[in-house]
Amino acid sequence: MTPPVPVPTLKLERELFGTGAPMVLACDEVGRGALAGPVTVGIVLIDPTVRRMPAGLRDSKLMPEPKREAMAPRAASWVHAWAVGEASAAEIDEHGIMVCLGLAGARAFQALTAAVEVAADVPLLLDGNYDWLSTSIERRVRVTTRIKADRDCASVAAASVIAKVHRDGGMRRAHDELPLYGWDENKGYSTPAHFAALDEHGPSALHRATWLHERPAEAPTLFDLGVG
């Protein structure tokens, strides 16, 4: 029997509002493990007037692509404000993935704060167990890391869906320009067909050259990578 897909809630966010926080930010990244394309960070802002989350909102990795695509505009209209930032494959090659997570996050934060006023020292929920964001935004908010926040916290799930659909759209456009690697299907992640195309055509400018030296014995499935 297939276990039920976990449903995120606003429990943690409402606890933060209960401490007097005037707003809560939430942040998630996508594309961290891809062979090609950018790493993308989504950030959203909610306030205490936030309504019940859109029905069907889940961690982007737990949603089939058609449902993610349909959910992204609903998630964007549900939150008070949102933004996306990216760091390119060339930047990842030059600086490394951890620096580029912070770089993409800083770009998303800058775009958000250019659109809306963000109070100093407000809480920000960050998916994972490592804070790669604080130093990049000069600790302007109070970052709390939480493992599986994209699964459990509705605001982080919204950030994850917005970021994922944004990045997927970019990879589909890249496929239209250069259809050799199947980016419309694999979105730049490791698949046998992607490796076969690399063997035949070599890497493109969108590939992370520093990531291509070692190939896993067996590429992970698209489902495992949250692509399907």
Evaluate whether 40 touches 32 at the Cβ level (below 8 Å).
no
Per-residue pLDDT tens digits for 23-52: 999 999 999 999 999 999 999 999 999 999
Rounded to 10 degrees, the C-alpha dihedral 218/224/226/228 comes to 80
Per residue in 114-147, is it b (16+ CB within 10 Å) or e — as a string?
Answer: eeeebeeebbbbbbbeeebbbebbeeebebebbe
Residue indicated by tokens 């007037």: 49
Closest Cα to residue 30, out of 146, 169, 197?
169
pLDDT of residue 214: 59
Per-residue pLDDT tens digits for 111-166: 999 999 999 999 999 999 999 999 999 999 999 999 999 999 999 999 999 999 99
Query: What distance, in Å, lies between the first and last C-alpha atoms of the chain?
Result: 21
**For the chain, percent of residues with pLDDT exceeding 90:** 89
Per-residue pLDDT tens digits for 67-112: 999 999 999 999 999 999 999 999 999 999 999 999 999 999 999 9
